[in-house]
Amino acid sequence: MSENQNAQAEFANQPPTNVARVPTLLLLDTSHSMNQQTKDEDGNKRKKIDQLNDGLQLFKQEIDDDFKAERAVDVSLVTFGGDVSVEHEFSEIGDWQPPNLSASGGTPLCEALVKGANHLRDYRNHLRDDNVPLKKALVWVLTDGRPTDDSGSLWDKAQTVVEDGTEDGELLFYGVGIGDGADTSKLDDLASAAPDESKVNVFQLESGMFKEFFRIVSESAQAQSEGGDADDADDNLSQQ
């Protein structure tokens, strides 16, 4: 019997409310710079926003193809490009269809992180009220630039999100820059707010590696849906 068949046998008779939820919050840069073209993994020059949309489709497919993850992963999508938009509120991934995103405006990353965290808090409280088991949330930020709101109260609030969420054991934070224009130093500054650096992970991908980003996201969600709750941000990445 294959591993996926074993998983199906293990979970087949469990209602979704008995499966520990794996909240996966995607905070994605859709600013104007995402209209620029760059070579994708196949060497074809295409708009970054189109590559991002392809990556979302890949993420959906990879989770759908993993029985345990498909039963456990709840996804929410927040974009930041000019405005911050909750494109999709938390739901089981089987009920989610990836949108076709467009790019415009600046990069209000901090506002997106704060808004996404508030949405995550409301979702977790709702599940706790219903006695639904939860694992740590996986919070992913992907950007090809630098925040345009990295000063003042919003920056302070964004750092507080990382500090409080990791300290309370509510989330693991991943900041990912893609391409040479990504300012990972700002992501490092956000991550540095965490009292325990093992709860955060910041790294950079080469330009055009959007599908690789979503492979990493899907594999971390799959790892989180297996066995116990990951204690460190590196745990889910090291299992790939």
For the chain, domain boundaries: 28-238
The whole-model pTM stands at 0.91
Q: What fold does the segment set 28-238 form as a domain?
A: Rossmann fold (3.40.50)
85: left (phi over 0), alpha (psi -120 to 50) or beta: beta
| Tokens at 59, concatenated | 């993420």
Q: Which of 4-8, 147-151, 209-213 has the lowest mean pLDDT?
A: 4-8
Closest CA to 86 of 76, 94, 96, 95: 76
Tell me which residue has tokens 């989770």. 63
What CA–CA distance (Å, rounded) separates 73 from 92? 6
236, pLDDT greater than 90: no
Could you tell me which of 187, 142, 183, 174 has the C-alpha nearest to residue 51? 142
Rounded Cα gap, residues 149 and 139, in angstroms:
19
Burial 93-115 (b: 16+ CB within 10 A, else e): beebebeebebeebbbbbbbbbb
How far from chain centre, in Å, is Cα 97? 16
**pLDDT (tens digit, 9 = 90+) per residue, 155-202?**
999 999 999 999 999 999 999 999 999 999 999 999 999 999 999 999
Place of tokens 């600013």: 31
In the prediction, which pLDDT does 233 show?
82
In this prediction, residues 100-113 reach a mean pLDDT of: 98
